[in-house]
Amino acid sequence: MNTAKTLELLRSEAAGTRMCELYGADKAEENIRRYEDLVQKFQENFGEKDILMFSSPGRTEISGNHTDHNHGKVLAGSINLDCVGIAAKNESSKVNIISETFHQKFTIDLNDLQPSAKKAGTVDLVKGLLKGFQESGYEVGGFDAYITSNVISSAGVSSSASFEMLLCSMLNRFFNDGRMDTVAYAHIGKYAENVYWDKASGLLDQMACAVGGLITIDFLEPAAPKVEQIDFDFASQNHSLIIVQTGKGHADLSADYSSVPNEMKKVAQFFGKEVCAEVTEQQVIDNIQEVRAFAGDRSVMRALHFFEENKRVEAEVAALKEGRFADFLANITASGNSSWKWLQNCYTTASVQEQGISIALALTELFIAEKQRGACRIHGGGFAGVIMAMLPNDIVDEYIDYIEHAMGADSAYRMSIRPYGAVCVNDII
């Protein structure tokens, strides 16, 4: 579709409807203008071509804190912040990408997909995606793309996975007849991070960005995780999801992050197993003294969190399916309390006077107690960084003013769950 027809499509009634679904009614017009601007910029940089529009959301972890690495269960959702790209095939062996957000412009030759020595950065990630397509038996080819993103970086909403899934949707649409499923996208994104970034990431981020809406994932079989999309209209509940940046930790948190899966696995090792998903909570309780002596008390606490968190994910999924939104929120609160007390990832013991997450959670709990509505929990890996609150829309503005007074201006981001994952926007209009 050429530039003129694309701009005409963006002003159609169907496009308006989809933009409301993707971004919310109050943000629809703003995002139509965003797409129009990108189309013009693509033309300015790459000339008049047969273009398509693509979008890939960020994601939020709603429950299942630190469970995936021990093959547990998670509940996640795609959000209305996204990576958007205008792209066209160029009938060459070159991939030309302009990233407006990060002021990058680069070309990758499909005949040279070796990672750099440093194994870092956007170019290596894109090379890894292209190589992942080839290794998985899919086709690749040359294309041009002009991309922008408003997915917040360093906020636990997976800006990198959003970008990865955007490119996967382009490659699927242009060179693989749209036949790939979202699980294939996720595995390719994981391959790119594992091999071209040396980052030991799982599939959670990629799956949540690729599938869209609310999804639950069971990682019992990690090579083929069981993914279920939950048919639930989040917008109908008139709640928003708020992510609050509590300040970056100054300590090196690598040891803290590694300790969580390692300590859980230490408990499993007592029983001759590799991960907690292969053990039952009752087994741990029945052998509690011996397990404590073998693995340590914090390890046992973290394993108990794993078992209970899996149950909470199941309870939340059931509550959503049955329309029990209040029960869903109650389990989010319980998840947060478990992360704080049992998993113990709200601050690092290397710097006990630095507790931005704990302060933000305490203040949010006070706010929720006063209003008698809403829920909150830690978001993502923890130890420093981000919390999540889920609040009725009529008190969101008040909460944002309240929490930003404590955590700083522009530290709170209002979001909603969107029903679409990584898509060619033309295909849904």
Q: Are residues 287 and 309 in the same domain?
A: yes
Domain that holds residue 259: 237-415
Domain count, the chain: 2
Residue 154 has pLDDT above 70, yes or no: no
pLDDT-above-70 percentage for the chain: 99
**CA 283-289-292 angle, 5° bins:** 90
How far is the C-alpha of 324 from the C-alpha of 31, rounded, in Å? Answer: 32
Residue 390 has pLDDT above 70, yes or no: yes
Instruction: Measure the CA angle with vertex 262, ends 214 and 253; round to 5°.
Output: 80
Q: Is the pLDDT of residue 253 over 90?
A: no
| Domain shared by 54 and 144, yes or no | yes
Phi/psi of residue 348, nearest 5 degrees: -90, 135
When mean pLDDT is compared across 10-24, 136-150, 225-239, the lowest value belongs to 225-239
Average pLDDT over residues 133-153: 95
Mean pLDDT of 51-61: 95
pLDDT of 115 reads 95
Residues 359 and 335 placed together within one structural domain of the fold: yes
| Strand residue runs (E) in 278-356 | none
Asked if 128 and 21 sit in the same domain, the reply is yes
168: closest CA among 137, 215, 133, 143?
133
Average pLDDT over every residue of 196-218: 87
What is the structure's pLDDT at 395? Answer: 97
Of 252 and 49, more confident: 49
Residues 89 and 107 in one domain: yes
Residue 164 tokens, joined: 């990865």
pLDDT of 250 higher than 70: no
In this predicted structure, the answer to whether residue 385 has a pLDDT above a threshold of 70 is: yes
Q: Of 13, 29, 35, nearest to 83 (Cα)?
A: 35
Q: What angle do CA 242, 248, 253 make, to 5 degrees?
A: 115
Task: Dump pLDDT digits (tens) for 281-292.
Answer: 999 999 999 999
Can you name the residues that pair with 143 across neighbouring β-strands? 89, 95
Tell me how far apart the alpha carbons of residues 221 and 206 are, in angstroms, rounded to a whole number: 16
The domain that holds 189 is classified in CATH as: 3.30.230.10
Q: Are residues 251 and 216 in the same domain?
A: no
Strand pairing class (104-109; 423-424): unpaired
For residue 338, the domain's CATH number is 3.30.70.890
Range 144-162 average pLDDT: 86
Query: How confident is residue 199, by pLDDT bands cut at 50, 70 and 90?
Result: confident
pLDDT given at position 17: 95
Does this model's pTM top 0.85? yes
Kindly indicate the confidence band of residue 159, based on its pLDDT and cuts at 50, 70 and 90. confident
- pLDDT, one tens digit per residue, over 365-384 is 999 999 999 999 999 888 98
Same domain for 356 and 302? yes
Residue with tokens 């639950």, as numbered in its chain: 216
Q: How confident is the model at residue 26 (pLDDT cuts 50, 70, 90)?
A: confident
* Mean pLDDT to the nearest integer, 266-295: 98
φ/ψ of residue 201, rounded to 5: -85, 160
pLDDT in the model for residue 109: 98
**Same domain as 296, residue 391:** yes
Residue 155 reports pLDDT greater than 80? no
Average pLDDT of 300-306?
A: 98
Residues 210 and 335 in one domain: no
Q: What is the mean pLDDT of the chain?
A: 94
pLDDT value of residue 201: 75
> What per-residue confidence (pLDDT) applies to 223?
77
What kind and span of H or E run contains 382? none
Q: Distance between CA atoms of 281 and 300, rounded to whole angstroms?
A: 10
Number of other CB atoms surrounding residue 393 within 10 Å: 13
| Residues paired with 86 in a beta bridge | 53, 146
Is pLDDT at 320 greater than 70 in this prediction? yes
**Is 310:343 a contact under the CB 8 Å cutoff?**
no
Q: Are 34 and 129 spatial neighbours (Cβ–Cβ below 8 Å)?
A: no
Whether residue 149 is found in the same domain as residue 252: no
Cα–Cα distance, 69 to 294 (Å, whole number): 21
Residue 191: how many CB atoms within 10 A of its CB?
Answer: 18
Q: Are residues 422 and 410 in the same domain?
A: no
Mean pLDDT of 249-271: 90
164 and 265, same structural domain? no
